[in-house]
Amino acid sequence: MGVAGRDFPTNRGGLCQKGWTSASVLRAPDRLVTPLVRGADGELGPATWVEALDLVARRFSEIRARHGADAVAVFGGGGLTNEKAYQLGKFARIALGTANIDYNGRFCMSSAAAAANRSLGVDRGLPFPLADIGGAAAVLLLGSNLAETMPPAVAHLSGARAAGGLVVVDPRVSATATLTENGQGLHLQPVPGTDLVVLLGLLHVVLAEGLADRAYVDERTSGADDARRLAAAWWPERVEQVAGVPAALLRETARLLAAASPSRGGAGAYVLTGRGVEQSVQGTATVNAAINLALALGLPGRLGSGYGAVTGQGNGQGGREHGQKSDQLPGYRMIDDPAAREHVAAVWGVDPATIPGRGRPAVELLDSLGRAGGPRALLVHGANLRVSAPHSTHVADRLDALDLLVVCDVVPSETAQRADVVLPVLQWAEEEGTMTSLEGRVLRRRKAVEAPSGARSELWVWRELATRLGAPGTWDTDAAAVFDELARASAGGRADYSGLSHARLDAEPDLHWPCPATEGEPHPGTPRLFLDGFHTADGRARFVAVDDRGPADDVRADAPIHLVTGRVLQHYQSGAQTRRVEDLVTASPAAFVELHPVLADRHGVEPGDLVTLTNARGTVTAVARITDAIRPDTVFMPFHWPGEQNVNRVTNDATDPVSGMPEFKVCAVTVARADLPAHPEAAGPLLITEVPA
């Protein structure tokens, strides 16, 4: 069994290591194939599906009767198909009657989504096809290490690199930052947590040097004056003092972007953001600053130019459009909009008054687990919270405080291992459905292999539970039928899928939302948004005035070093699946801490030593890597490992006040050499192979 790429506009047939080894997870030796229930002895043991589902339904009913409907909560995932994301939101709200549903996309795209909604009127990661970027002469990329997280996407940067116009903003000399070498672009290496300052400085230069597209700003935007007043305070020399980026480099970047912009006859320019700048208490403000810069240059809504956010999870776009978020209904409707509630209730066949209101966003939801007035039971789909959540030891404590934890998964993740009930579900190659790419392209997922006989689709699981709970409405298990219902529910919403179906997507595989139903010729889909106007009340994009507040957990005497986190090429998210692939474990067996030689020398750290990072939230330990590819005031650690190597033990769960995004990407720590020598077992529990000596 293997995986091969196919010619497609986004990846052009290319696959990364995770892609071409993905079939290995389908045959993982510890694949979950039977329900597990925790017995009186405290151990998980096999159960029949009837036994497990009867137990879950009975316990849910008891907890709801005793504590109210909101005492049962749901946590979803950005890897679920559109059909499952839709059905999970429906299940939470009308089968369980709970407002408390959110998902791990809150940890991924929420700041970019919030910023795009308030400035452009709609959230679609890239409001243009990814291939459009290839024709641009300049690309400003902030907080995204594409070369390791999405390697096939790097091909689309070739035009900007050839023109010397790729600008990467990253405190590390990442694999993506090295693409700017040899005259192919610029690398801005700011102090962690100062990306907003850099963007304010760039806008200052654009405005001060007359580089803005005045006609575009006047005709297509509003609010420029307020944004201009705040940017005026961030002249390049002040930015240099705060962010550490040379003033001359800021001016060069602004001029490069302006020269490539349409108003100056350039070949095109793009401003792109990623998690590195979005996972912050001022992530929404930072993205709005990036959009402000793009608007000043006249980029959004122009062919060959624009602003976009690079998403990460498999269905990071579609997963947030159809009801998994605590404040949303299908079609990207807001749950407190009376018209939205009435429309969706009609599709579901329920009274609008029975649909709960807004629930708690992810971090707040997790913190409330097991507390007075908070949820007593949690149903988890597609998330490994014990590893992936910020301040993970605190989250583990909250999970342990629950009366009932039910986890649907394909492998025994760290979260599943501590659940009361584990339900084995299907993987990507074992089911039909759809996903939506970062460009809003709706993609068919087709069944390729048979699932193990004991695993079941979540659509089947929810139908069985809904039936036991006496839920109203219909609960199809056929993905095509669920998609048809999703399409009806999304009609008229910002993410309108009503003109799509499995059959149409099979015949026309290149359709982007919005794609509304029509009475005549089918709608062709919308690969490029904003060409005729923005999705705001007046059709204008809005400048959003923002200013810098700094990170919530900044360096200080008792925590003098910045910690930044991220991914490695071989692993994905919490590593629950990729740590089960022998080739990937061999290539990247353990977590590590990157230190600059100056910092390492100060602490007496040699390559291969064990290093501890500590702050008020906890301690994490990993092997030292000494490199000058990072700032001397900063350490880097990837987040794919559990146990003592789980960097989320120390990451900050402070959140952005607009988006609810936690501040994963920067916090303050102390650095020390551990007393124990490095050893192969530093990789933690390896599930496929021993770590090479």
Q: What is the pLDDT of residue 668?
A: 97
Q: What single-letter amino acid sits at 299?
A: L
User: Are the CB atoms for 202 and 293 separated by under 8 Å?
Assistant: yes
The 10s digit of each residue's pLDDT in 321-336 is 999 999 999 999 999 9
DSSP 8-state assignment for residue 43: -
Query: For residues 381 and 101, what is the distance between their CA atoms, to the nearest angstrom?
Result: 11
Instruction: Give the percent of the chain with pLDDT over 70.
Output: 94
Q: What is the pLDDT of residue 227?
A: 98
User: Are the CB atoms for 432 and 82 separated by under 8 Å?
Assistant: no
- Indicate if the pLDDT at residue 61 is higher than 50: yes
Q: What is the pLDDT of residue 692?
A: 29
Query: For residues 207 and 129, what is the distance between their CA atoms, to the nearest angstrom?
Result: 29
Strand ranges of the sheet holding 185-188, from the earlier edge strand across to the other edge: 185-188, 166-169, 138-142, 269-273, 306-309
- Cα 405 to chain centroid distance, Å, stands at 24
Query: For residues 662 and 561, what is the distance between their CA atoms, to the nearest angstrom?
Result: 19
User: What is the reported pTM?
Assistant: 0.94
Q: Domain 561-683 carries which CATH code?
A: 2.40.40.20
Higher-scoring residue by pLDDT: 152, 458? 458
- Indicate if the pLDDT at residue 610 is higher than 50: yes
Q: Domain 31-107+315-477 carries which CATH code?
A: 3.40.50.740
Q: Residues with Cβ < 8 Å from 665, sequence gap 6 or more?
A: 143, 192, 275, 276, 277, 279, 280, 564, 565, 566
The 10s digit of each residue's pLDDT in 154-206 is 999 999 999 999 999 999 999 999 999 999 999 999 999 999 999 999 999 99
- Indicate if the pLDDT at residue 609 is higher than 50: yes
The 10s digit of each residue's pLDDT in 206-250 is 999 999 999 999 999 999 999 999 999 999 999 999 999 999 999
Which strand (E) or helix (H) includes residue 158? helix 158-162
pLDDT band at 5 (very low <50, low <70, confident <90, very high): low
What SS3 class is residue 77?
coil
Q: What is the pLDDT of residue 298?
A: 98
Which strand (E) or helix (H) includes residue 435? strand 433-436
Instruction: Give me the residue spans of the domains in the chain.
Output: 31-107+315-477, 110-309, 561-683
User: Are the CB atoms for 206 and 297 separated by under 8 Å?
Assistant: yes
CA angle 49, 418, 412 (to 5 degrees): 65
Give the mean model confidence (pLDDT) for residues 307-311.
92
**Average pLDDT over the chain, rounded to an integer:** 92
The 10s digit of each residue's pLDDT in 658-690 is 999 999 999 999 999 997 444 333 333 323 222
Q: Where are the alpha helices (DSSP H) in 370-496?
A: 385-388, 392-400, 458-468, 479-490
Q: What is the pLDDT of residue 15?
A: 65
Q: What is the pLDDT of residue 567?
A: 83
Q: What is the pLDDT of residue 678?
A: 42
Of 2.60.120.10, 3.40.50.2300, 3.40.50.720, 3.40.228.10, the CATH number of 110-309 is: 3.40.228.10
Instruction: Give the percent of the chain with pLDDT over 90.
Output: 84
Q: What is the pLDDT of residue 569?
A: 62
